[in-house]
Amino acid sequence: MCGRAACSLNPDSLCRACDYKDATGKRRTTSWTKTDIEYIPSTNIGPKDALPCIISGLHFGKDEQVLCAMMWSMIPPWHEGDYRKHNLSTHNARLENIKNSKLYGTPLRKGQRCIVLCEGYYEWKAGKTKKESKQPYYIYATQEKGVRADDSSTWKDEWSEETGWKGFKLLKMAGIFNTFKTGEGKIIYSCTIITTESNSILSWLHNRVPIFLNKEQDSQIWLNEKLTIDEVVDKLNKLTLSDGDLNWHTVSTLVNNVLCKNEDCRKEKKSIEEKKSNSSSFMASWLKKGSAESAKRKSTETEKNDNVMSKIAKEK
């Protein structure tokens, strides 16, 4: 699950959208730290593309949290050659297996935890039969009245120390990251999103969901390197979705192609079932109209024939 996401805010807006309270209680924006991965805003981000992440600044010798662009799909440390050509599916990691995982256990023990950011992610609902196409959905945080997730012209870009970020509410998901040194000496940051079993809110769509860090306190706990693995995993197990946290709508199958990056990917569209229903209704209406017109023609022809026969009878 969670194999496609959208994050279209520009880098400066993301700094404001990821604001937080420091140790003194002052609200601050989050600054970027430069890496060898570039964040490119897009409405259709797939595995091995770049996603923005928040990590503890201690990894860079800083006291405050920082933004860092990472490749979405953790690179196995034993991989050799082009880092983008590893063959493992590592964009998601199951919470149930994470502590004992050969791939994820080591960075977890090193405190390499991150918060993966996006405006929303895509999920596909299987059809009733294998022949039916899967219906893509776009899932996002519930927004203020008047804010449309598929129309960025309705979003604000406002921030102040007093009120904080007043723009689009991002999804913040628990993740872990690792570093990989290429043959050229570049340090590549890569991440995975931690998933858990769905509860009743999204189980109709998929049996797995990301672990959402909905409260600022949840984010602070996840990035706190002083907490042990058992402590943080225990806290993740206690995080649950609540009614009203998320919203969603159906989108077109344009998003199926990861090379398609335009705004239409997340535009709300009628579902495949609705289109079939409308098509069936149109066909039924057309057939009904055709039958009515046919009956009317037959009635008119019969009436004409009766008139002709009546006239002939009178002439005789």
Residues annotated as catalytic are: 2, 123
Task: Say how many C-beta atoms besides its own lie within 10 A of residue 140's C-beta.
Answer: 21
CB 272 within 8 A of CB 156: no
Residue 165 to residues 77, 90, 147, 161, 186: CA-CA distances in angstroms? 37, 32, 14, 9, 34
Unique residue bearing structure tokens 């730290």 = 33
Task: Say how many C-beta atoms besides its own lie within 10 A of residue 3's C-beta.
Answer: 17
Structure tokens at 70: 């990472």
What phi, psi does 18 have (nearest 5°)?
Answer: -105, 35
Beta 135-141 vs 120-125: how paired, if at all?
antiparallel
